[in-house]
Structure 1
Amino acid sequence: MFTILSAAMAPGFALMSFFYLKDRFDSKPFSIVFRTFIMGALLVFPIMFIQYAFETEGVLQYPLTKSFLLSAGLEEFFKWFIFLYAVYKQDHFEGRYDGIVYGVSISLGFATVENILYLLANGVELAFLRALYPVSSHALFGVIMGYYMGKGKTDIHKKSMYIIWLALVTPVFLHGLYDYILEAWKSTWLYTLTPFMIILWMIAIRKVKQANMASADIIPIEQNKWKA
């Protein structure tokens, strides 16, 4: 049991630490980040219940609808909803990279509990593949969602509501593609999903750099006023 729990939780905390430490200017208190992690973790149970109900009734079970609506649509909507109503309007959400940190923490909270349940049911032998694909993909969807949430919060001269909706639509589309690959190419998914994950990592790292560059345009100005 301890081995399974450790193997299931390690990827989530490792990825959370990676993106948390990528904040070059104004890291948030870890207590706040952990709170959003817990919010994401609690989402697993209502979402699993809804998905189980649809599966039992045989509704939306075609590969396309199951991937984009029942899986990606439900999961990313609830993450986005929690972000919008529990984080977005808070005073501690100040910069674009803050959005990435909170987006990743919500997503990895969800992914970690999901991973624990999966490994308890199927065995620790799948821990490496689970870390490499499902857990990592949730983190990367969180980066993209958080980036646009941060952009919507800080870019006061642009249409913030459009950007906030982009924070939902983009992860749903990418998550849907991820799941559709698994549904449509069940025997050869590895050959298609691996390049998809590489591209997803490239997009996410680019968003990380863009968010830090946006912070760099603001932070030095604020720090200069304290110089002698």
Structure 2
Amino acid sequence: MTSRILLALALLPAIVLMMYIRRLDKIEQEPKALIGKLLLFGALTTISAIILERLGTIALDTFVPEDTLPYLVIDNFLIVALVEEMGKFVVLKLCTWRNPNFNYTYDAVVYAVATSLGFAALENILYVFLLGGVPTAIMRALTAVPGHCMFGIFMGYFYGLAKKAEFWGYTSKKYRNLFLACAAPILVHGFYDFTLTVGTWGALLLFLVFYLTCLVVAFIRIRKMAGEDIPIGFYPEAKEEAADPYASYKSTPPPGASLPVFRPQPPQPNRQAPYQPSYQQPSNQQSSYPPQGNQQSSYQYTAPVQKRTVYVPPKVSDEPSPYAQPVYPHAFYQPPEQSSYPPPPAQGPAVPYGGDKMEQAAEYYPEGTEMPSLPEDLLDGADPTNDQP
């Protein structure tokens, strides 16, 4: 029963921290199989670390006196911290660098913390069962296990920047961030162990200040990093657009609209040879086209001479032109002096309309006038318009 309690106390801090770090990944959580693989291989690095640290301590005891300041610096920085953090980094690099799931910057933190907590879990089990029991489990649950998680956060932060630099082709920035992914946790881990092994109250106070400061900074950093998580392929200028793609619009996005995921490709160099024109435009004075390159001219082109007519205004003379229009003395109509006109000549007797109805012809003549006599053929009903006999 006691063994189960000790095992639970040894594993519980690592499990809780791993669940917390993974839950912060709200966009695309990493596969459980990959997380389990990193936890397992991270735990196996504990065995290699024990062996290498033991060999390093034996070599250090040979050349440097024990319990001296140089001994503590070399032991904590160059043996313990270097061996443990480099073992974690090797597992992290081999398992995740070419993994297709590694496509967001926060993924690097999840991978590095998983590797570190796998190491911390097995190391905590060994310390709890071999060295102290429940008090050791409680003390390490508050210091060592969160400390390894903090080392993994520093490693994962620079590890993600190195992956982004490789995607965009920045080789120098990639290797600089890979170096920092190893150096930052080694320095923090080494100073953590150094202040604990000095054994003075001043060193213990320095440890508490340093440990709490780094722990707060690390967890604030990952919370901000998880909230601003963007794909590896994003250019830095698109960070604000990825966080809020609707910021440039006055209206709010529709309910349920998801953020678009952009995966731009890196710019490719233009390998096409530049165009070099061989044709030379002739000038206005050039009358023939010279041959281009090694060509032989088969004809000569002579530009035609264009004659241009120049307008010359006519000379002004006093002699009248034969084509001049006559000038009239009056340019407007003047009525004649005659004020009355004679009546028109008579046009002959009027023929009333009616044909054989001559009894109605009297109404066509005004009162006081006499109706003329008509020929007999008209009185008989003949057609007056018919000229035939």
TM-score by shorter chain over 0.5:
yes
Secondary structure in structure 2 of the residue aligned to 1:94:
coil
- Partner of residue 205 from structure 2, selected from 180, 184, 191: 191
Relative to structure 1, the CA distance from residue 219 to residue 30 in structure 2 (aligned partners, 3 Å threshold; closer, same or farther) is: farther
Partner in structure 1 of residue 250 of structure 2: none
Q: Is the 8 A contact 2:195 2:204 kept in 1?
A: no
Question: Which sections of structure 2, spanning at least 5 residues, go unmatched?
Answer: 232-238, 246-257, 262-389
Partner in structure 2 of residue 43 of structure 1: 45
Partner in structure 1 of residue 154 of structure 2: 144
Distance, in Å, in 1 between the alignment partners of 2:98 and 2:41 is 16
Larger relative helix fraction = 1
Partner in structure 2 of residue 79 of structure 1: 88
Partner in structure 1 of residue 30 of structure 2: 28
Aligned residues: 225
**Which whole-Å deviations, capped at 9, do the CAs of 1:119-176 have from their partners, x for residues lacking one?**
0012222111101111110001001101111111124445111111110011111111
Letter of the 1:154 counterpart: K
Structure (1 or 2) with the larger CA radius of gyration: 2
Distance, in Å, in 1 between the alignment partners of 2:84 and 2:94 is 16
Partner in structure 1 of residue 219 of structure 2: 205
Give me the TM-score of the superposition, normalised by structure 2. 0.54
Superposed CA RMSD: 2.1
Q: Is the 8 A contact 2:57 2:75 kept in 1?
A: no
Q: Once the 2 structures are TM-superposed, how far is the Cα of residue 188 of structure 1 from its aligned partner?
A: 5.8
Partner in structure 2 of residue 125 of structure 1: 135
Partner in structure 2 of residue 215 of structure 1: 230
Q: Once the 2 structures are TM-superposed, how far is the Cα of residue 191 of structure 1 from its aligned partner?
A: 2.5
Question: Which sections of structure 1, spanning at least 5 residues, go unmatched?
Answer: none
Secondary structure in structure 1 of the residue aligned to 2:143:
helix
Give me the TM-score of the superposition, normalised by structure 1. 0.90
Letter of the 1:206 counterpart: I
Q: How does 1:146-161 map to 2 (within 5 A)?
A: 146-155=156-165, 156-157=167-168, 158=170, 159-161=173-175
Deviates more, 1:83-92 or 1:128-137: 83-92
Q: Once the 2 structures are TM-superposed, how far is the Cα of residue 186 of structure 1 from its aligned partner?
A: 5.2
Letter of the 2:117 counterpart: L
Distance, in Å, in 2 between the alignment partners of 1:187 and 1:113 is 30
Distance, in Å, in 1 between the alignment partners of 2:18 and 2:203 is 26
Distance, in Å, in 2 between the alignment partners of 1:161 and 1:53 is 30
Distance, in Å, in 1 between the alignment partners of 2:109 and 2:260 is 26
**Which whole-Å deviations, capped at 9, do the CAs of 1:29-68 have from their partners, x for residues lacking one?**
2221111011100100111011122334525761000010
Partner in structure 2 of residue 4 of structure 1: 6
Q: Once the 2 structures are TM-superposed, how far is the Cα of residue 100 of structure 1 from its aligned partner?
A: 0.5
Secondary structure in structure 2 of the residue aligned to 1:23:
coil
User: Which structure ranks higher in relative contact order (CA pairs < 8 Å, sequence separation ≥ 6)?
Assistant: 1
Q: Once the 2 structures are TM-superposed, how far is the Cα of residue 10 of structure 1 from its aligned partner?
A: 0.4
Distance, in Å, in 1 between the alignment partners of 2:103 and 2:37 is 17
Distance, in Å, in 2 between the alignment partners of 1:148 and 1:88 is 13
Q: Once the 2 structures are TM-superposed, how far is the Cα of residue 84 of structure 1 from its aligned partner?
A: 1.4
Q: Once the 2 structures are TM-superposed, how far is the Cα of residue 23 of structure 1 from its aligned partner?
A: 1.3
Q: Once the 2 structures are TM-superposed, how far is the Cα of residue 219 of structure 1 from its aligned partner?
A: 7.4
Partner in structure 1 of residue 252 of structure 2: none
Q: Once the 2 structures are TM-superposed, how far is the Cα of residue 220 of structure 1 from its aligned partner?
A: 6.8
Letter of the 1:17 counterpart: M
Partner in structure 2 of residue 110 of structure 1: 119
Residue 171 (1) aligns with residue 185 (2): yes
Residue 90 (1) aligns with residue 104 (2): no
Distance, in Å, in 2 between the alignment partners of 1:174 and 1:93 is 26
Partner in structure 2 of residue 99 of structure 1: 108
Letter of the 1:22 counterpart: L
